[in-house]
Amino acid sequence: MTNIAETAVLFLLIIAFFAWLGYRRGFIGELVKFGMILLAFAVGQKSMLGATVIRVINSVWLIFQIIINGGLRLLLSGDLSGDSLSQVLNEAKNAGPLVPPTAGDSLLFVLMILLIILAFFVGSRVKRKSSRLLGVFMGIVNGLALIYIFRPYLSGKPLLPPLNTSSPLAALASLFGTAFDLLLLPVNWLQNALGLLFVPVLIVAIVLILLRSLRS
């Protein structure tokens, strides 16, 4: 029970940190970050973009091997006979792929981490003014997305419900729904704590906020 409570506190602290980042950066910066996090996740999965990334890397490596093993010399000399091309191609293939099958998963994981780091860097560079409230929401979404991405590498009982992965849109809807529930968590806590007093307290708070916005 203690471990679950400690995990819950840590989870809420992480979400609060990302909500604070969202408040600082605004909606546009967090939206850019979210798109790059999704790209990083897709690159890290062979079933999505990962296999294509490895195939492109190995294709570029094969072309490089062809060039340094005589392909450029043949092109400049004009000697494009079948025997010469076949010899160059065989030498290039003998070098082997740059990313062998045993190293594919490790490379994709490293690329995913680098893209996530780049996402934070790019998101922090977006200076366009935008809604801070929506920024808080997108910050929570980004925090949840990272937790879901790294959950397979973490131990312990997960606090989050599993994503609906029947389709990309269903997964996004599930992610945004969880973020919305977390955004309303303080409101639900106040409602349970105040009981019947919650509605008048909420009305007074809204009136004070409106008066402050009109005064400014």
Per-residue pLDDT of 26-59, as tens digits, reads: 889 899 999 999 999 999 888 889 999 999 999 8
- Specify the residue for token string 């529930």: 181
- Specify the residue for token string 């973020």: 179
Give CA–CA dist 110/60, Å, rounded: 19
Could you state, in order of their start, the residue ranges of all structural domains in the chain?
Answer: 2-168
Nearest Cα neighbor of 74 from 88, 54, 90 is 88
C-beta of residue 126 within 8 angstroms of C-beta of residue 29: yes
- Residue 45: per-residue pLDDT: 86
The 10s digit of each residue's pLDDT in 144-189 is 889 888 877 665 555 566 676 666 677 777 777 888 777 776 666 6
What residue spans of 46-167 are helical by DSSP H? Answer: 51-66, 72-77, 82-94, 104-125, 132-150
C-beta of residue 148 within 8 angstroms of C-beta of residue 163: yes
10, 46, 149, 178 from 175: Cα distances, Å? 19, 22, 12, 5
- Residue 34: per-residue pLDDT: 93
C-beta of residue 190 within 8 angstroms of C-beta of residue 198: yes
